[in-house]
């Protein structure tokens, strides 16, 4: 992927930057091209042109994609891992991809987890980083101040948690209903057949005699 001067780009785990220059440098006898990026915090980063895909450098999202991001933030779908080690590895891998959609999943997962338990220092730092990356990119693309985008992200997350809770409650209720119906069916199968009424048995017993007298 090639970039031009002035392009807004995302450097994974660092956030949004602008391509200020494209220059050639010779380092340890090797000459190659570099993108000079000015990051949002005013630091300068050099990315080798030949290693753009390797570091995950990408263009910032479009205006249309911000709508999809807010939809995903509030869709109620949250991946939860009970195992800390597996959860941290999966989230770390997502943060390194450079995809804003992966970062959104990390933000939802850790934000939801933080409502029920204290996060470790490393996960708390990852959560803060994920939120910064999401808010800063949307803010830059939409041209809206960060506090306003931060508020919208929080509102979307609250919708997500509410929808998740409702879906979980419906799932539990449906399982309880199925279990109740299954138990009722088993009880019905185990119920012994009722004996025939005495009158009916007597009628059956006298039927042959009547038939014999008639003959």
Return the higher-pLDDT residue of 181 and 74.
Answer: 74
Between 207 and 142, name the one with better pLDDT.
142
pLDDT, position 129: 93
- Give the pLDDT of residue 191: 62
Statement to judge: residues 72 and 129 lie in one domain? yes
Consecutive H or E run containing 144: none
Point out the domain boundary residue: 146, 164, 182: 164
Per-residue pLDDT tens for 159-199? 999 998 898 888 788 888 887 787 766 666 666 666 655 55
Other C-beta atoms lying within 10 Å of the C-beta of residue 61: 19
Q: Considering the domain boundaries, does residue 145 fall inside one?
A: yes
Q: Which residue has better confidence, 98 or 76?
A: 76
pLDDT score of 200 more than 60: no
Strand, helix or coil for residue 118 = coil
Q: Is residue 186 part of a domain?
A: no
CATH of the domain at 117: 1.20.58.1290
Answer yes or no: are the C-beta atoms of 25 and 16 closer than 8 Å.
no
Q: Which range marks the domain in which residue 101 is found?
A: 63-164
Residue 74's closest CA among 170, 166, 169? 166
Percent of the chain scored above 90 by pLDDT? 50
pLDDT digits (tens, 9 = 90+) for 146-159: 999 999 999 999 99
> What CATH number corresponds to the domain at position 42?
2.40.10.170
Domain shared by 15 and 54, yes or no: yes
- Whether residue 130 sits in one domain with residue 115: yes
Tokens 């138990």, residue located: 183
Same domain, 115 and 79: yes
Whole-number percent of the chain with pLDDT over 70: 85
Query: Are 49 and 88 within one domain?
Result: no
């Amino acid at each position: 992927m090639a970039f031009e001067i002035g392009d807004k780009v995302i450097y994974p785990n660092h956030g949004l930057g602008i391509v200020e220059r494209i220059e050639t440098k010779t380092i340890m006898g090797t000459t190659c091209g570099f993108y000079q990026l000015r990051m949002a915090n005013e630091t300068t980063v050099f990315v080798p042109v030949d290693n753009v895909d390797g570091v995950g450098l990408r263009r910032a999202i479009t205006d249309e994609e911000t709508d999809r991001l807010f939809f995903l933030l509030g869709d109620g779908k949250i991946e939860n891992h009970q195992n800390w080690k597996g959860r941290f590895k999966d989230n770390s891998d997502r943060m390194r991809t450079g995809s804003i959609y992966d970062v959104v999943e990390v933000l939802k997962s850790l934000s939801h987890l933080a409502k029920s338990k204290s996060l470790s220092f490393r996960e708390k730092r990852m959560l803060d980083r994920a939120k910064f990356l999401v808010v800063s990119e949307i803010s830059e693309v939409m041209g809206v101040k960060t506090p306003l985008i931060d508020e919208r992200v929080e509102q979307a997350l609250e919708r997500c948690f509410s929808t998740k809770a409702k879906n979980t409650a419906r799932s539990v209720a449906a399982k309880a209903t199925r279990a109740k119906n299954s138990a009722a069916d088993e009880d019905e199968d185990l119920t012994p057949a009722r004996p025939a009424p005495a009158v009916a048995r007597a009628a059956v017993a006298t039927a042959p005699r009547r038939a014999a007298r008639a003959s």
